[in-house]
Amino acid sequence: MTSIPRDPVRLSVSILPSDERKIFQDSSFFTRGGGPHTLPSPAQVRAAADVQENKKVPFRQSIAVRFPSLNLIVKYGNMITNAEGQCLWAIRHLLHNAVPVPEVYGWCRDGNDVFIYMEMIHGDTLEQRWDGLTAEEKLEVCQQLHGIMENLRRLEQDSGAKFIGNINRKPLLDILFAGARHTPGPFPSISSFHDYFHTGGKGSSPSSSPDPYRVSLPDNVPITFTHSDLHRSNIIVTPAGMHPVRVLALIDWHQSGWLPAYWEYCKASFSSPHEDKWVTECVPKFLEKWECYEAWSYFQMAYWI
């Protein structure tokens, strides 16, 4: 599949809205007709979550609460950070519709929970529709995803401030590192990240326990902005019965960040059974296949032990 050259777009940490509470009054939630419109308070969101889940759950790491009448989803929990909101804002602000994501309306903190208010995308997940798609429709979806990922790769860091970390130069939020003994970054280079990654996040010196697989992790690849969870459940497409099939949005950017260029392919391949045709036939159609997957898979196992 031939790549079409596209101009790079600079994503600097300095442009990101950094307020702990940020409401985008110029977003479509507030400017559409029928107003005035008010975002639900954290208390109202928690109450709606109890109704949605049909039970009261006092402790939530992450939950998405739907407000269909407001065309609104609120994602909240003690594992949510405003970095996901910053990511949605930056992608839409810099890439517009070239990378389709939900419009973010704002975010806030209440106690230990962060609340992100965003557009509800009306569609089905690709996971829900996949088995019912024809071979031609699956190919069309993969081609659309290829174009989307090509556009996402247009994002670049400041030339003098390269790092591996989340969007706002803080530790990585990839779930792979959730149980790591030492904080996952930010790292000043790919090689320093690999030295951390290959020790299982334990922080031991690479020279104290040399591993033959370490050289299989390429230190000389680009740093790219990465979704880090391109599972079919995070790809929203047009509902069943609507033709042609179109990718409406990529959702769940919680794990996103600046990572080595191979990371997207490895995570997307790892998130489904390795014999699944999604992994063997489809993922390579929209993501570059990397030979370091075996080494990556070997090292990532240390984080689950």
The DSSP letter of residue 12 is: -
**9 to 187, 203, 258: CA distances (angstroms):** 22, 34, 14
Global pTM exceeds 0.85: yes
pLDDT value of position 2: 43
Q: Is residue 229 in some structural domain?
A: yes
pLDDT value of position 278: 94
Q: What is the mean pLDDT of the chain?
A: 92
pLDDT value of position 54: 65
Burial of 159 (0-12, 13-18, 19+ CB in 10 A): exposed
Q: Is residue 288 in some structural domain?
A: yes
pLDDT per position as a tens digit, 121-162: 999 999 999 999 999 999 999 999 999 999 999 999 988 889
d(CA 230, CA 279): 11
Which CATH number fits the domain that encloses residue 262? 3.90.1200
Q: Are 60 and 45 in contact (CB under 8 A)?
A: no
Which CATH number fits the domain that encloses residue 25? 3.30.200
Q: Is residue 80 in some structural domain?
A: yes
Contacts of 33 (CB under 8 A, 6+ apart): none
pLDDT per position as a tens digit, 91-121: 999 999 999 999 999 999 999 999 999 999 9
Q: Are 146 and 152 in contact (CB under 8 A)?
A: no
- Which residues of the chain have a pLDDT value below 50? 1-3
Q: Is residue 228 in some structural domain?
A: yes
Of the residues 96, 119, 142, which one is the last residue of a structural domain?
119
If asked whether residues 138 and 273 sit together in one domain, one would say yes
If asked whether residues 88 and 227 sit together in one domain, one would say no
Nearest to 67 by CA among 91, 38, 27, 92: 38
If asked whether residues 36 and 89 sit together in one domain, one would say yes
Strands 63-67 and 22-23: unpaired
Q: Is residue 206 in some structural domain?
A: yes
pLDDT value of position 1: 46
pLDDT value of position 266: 97
Q: Is residue 1 in some structural domain?
A: no
If asked whether residues 111 and 132 sit together in one domain, one would say no
Domains identified in the chain, total number: 2
